Structure formats: structure tokens, C-alpha cells
Amino acid sequence: MLKVVSTRLAVVRNFFGGLFVIAPICLTLACKAMPLDNGEGALERAKNGLLEELQSEGVTDPRVIEALRKVPREEFVRPHDRYAAYDNRALPIGKGQTISQPLIVGLMTQLLGLTGNERVLEVGTGSGYQAAVLSLLCQEVYSIEIDPDLAAEAAQRLARLGYQNVHVKAGDGFFGWPEAAPFDAVIITAVAPRVPEPLLAQLKPSGVIVMPLEEGWGETLVRVRKLEDGGTKTERFGAVAFVPMRGAVRSQEEPGN
């Protein structure tokens, strides 16, 4: 059947271990018919199939795979999208936003290199799915959502599902969460013209920021590591296209201007 695919990511292209990944957005795709059985057995089979697909496409960290296995994605989508919770695609969650494609969640999480003791800042809570995955891989998650309605819904959902180490607030992620800093890692799920200076200041030495970054020729998924001397080292992981990060990052002048 025909499916209309919508996501907070646009077209995403990455190279991970030589793999070329394309995540669809806002396209009408011809797909095989999906079963409408949304029972627990069907969901479990779909989840297992998805995890096999993700591993074949570059999500190889066993801790990340296990976190994706444990988090019930069906709880983070709209009730009528429950049957599609384990499709490898984004799904709308309202307010013009989506729950991100599982492959992108897995790859970006993997790039953080979490070991279990970290404090992680997430910019862009959405439905709370990424925060839930992170919560199983680190000590504390602090997540900021610019839309207050989505922030409130995500906080309630995460509390109901028992994710006690996730803290959510509404606000402009550009400014970070100074009261909870410093952070070991930061993940940003929208593209920005530069690394937000407050987030870099709130990052510990040797910490990393994983985000899409606007560059002269397009957008790139990057991992920025903060060095002991305060400098940074940037690694690039391929061309991407995300929705723009909103707020002060678009209105404030570039440093030095």
C-alpha cells in the first residue's frame, strides 16, 4: 500500500563502517502492505526484525541494541500508529514533530560512546523515546524540549513508564541546563549553524556532542570532542539533512561578529 512518511529528520545519509544510509522523509512511498495486527506477539516479532535490520546497517554496540530492545517504542507513538512502531521509519507525534527513525536513534546513540556513569543532555525531547533509550545507558538524562506541550506530555509518559533518571523541561536547548551541568555528553536532534556555545561550556573536558551541523555545502552529522585545553576536535560521519534547530541559535550573532 502507499504510506506517507513524515519525520523530524529530512533525508539522512551517513557512512558508518562503509554503509550508506538513507532515511526517508515527507515522501509518498510504495510499500508492501503492513499487517494490522498490533497484538503483543506481532509487535515482538516486528521488534526482533527491526533490531536485526539495525545491526546489519551499522548499529553494532550490544548495549545500544539491548536498550532499543527494552524500550517499548509503541508507547511513544500515537495509538493508531502502534502497529507501525517497529517500522524503521519516523512517525508523526503531533505539533508538526515526529519520533525519529530507529536507525538514526541507534547510530547517534552509539556515537556518544556511553559506558553507564554519564550525565547526558538531550536537546529535542519530542515524545521522549530517545531519552528513554539514553536512560538505560547512562546515569542521568536531562532533556530539553522547545515546545511546552510536547515537554509536558513526554515528562508524563516517561514517569508513567518508570524512567526515573530522566528529567524533562521546556525551554530553548541553545542555553542548555546550567543547573545540571557539567555533562559528559550532549545529543542534539536538529541541525544548527554551529555548536551552541553554552552547550560546549557545559560539557566536561573529553566529553562529546553529537549533532547535525550546517556547513558550507550542506549538513553533516558530527561528533565534537572537547579537549582538555578547551579546544575541540570534530569527526564527520556523512551528509545529512535535519529540520532546523529553533530558538536563539538562529537569532544570535556568530562569535566574533
Which residues are catalytic, by number? 100
- The Cα–Cα gap between 212 and 187 comes to 10
CA geometry: angle at 187 spanning 160 and 161, to 5°? 10
DSSP designation for 26: S
Interior/surface letters 99-128, b for 16+ CB within 10 angstroms, e for the rest: bbbbbbbbbbbbbbebeeebbbbbbbbbbb
Three cell numbers written together for 146: 522547545
User: Could you tell me which residues come within 8 angstroms of residue 61 by beta carbon, excluding any fewer than 6 positions away?
Assistant: 110
Name the residue among 2, 35, 1, 5 with its Cα closest to residue 22: 5
Is the sign of the CA dihedral 109, 114, 116, 122 positive or negative? negative
Name the residue among 234, 255, 243, 8 with its Cα closest to residue 111: 234
Name the residue among 112, 257, 116, 130 with its Cα closest to residue 197: 257
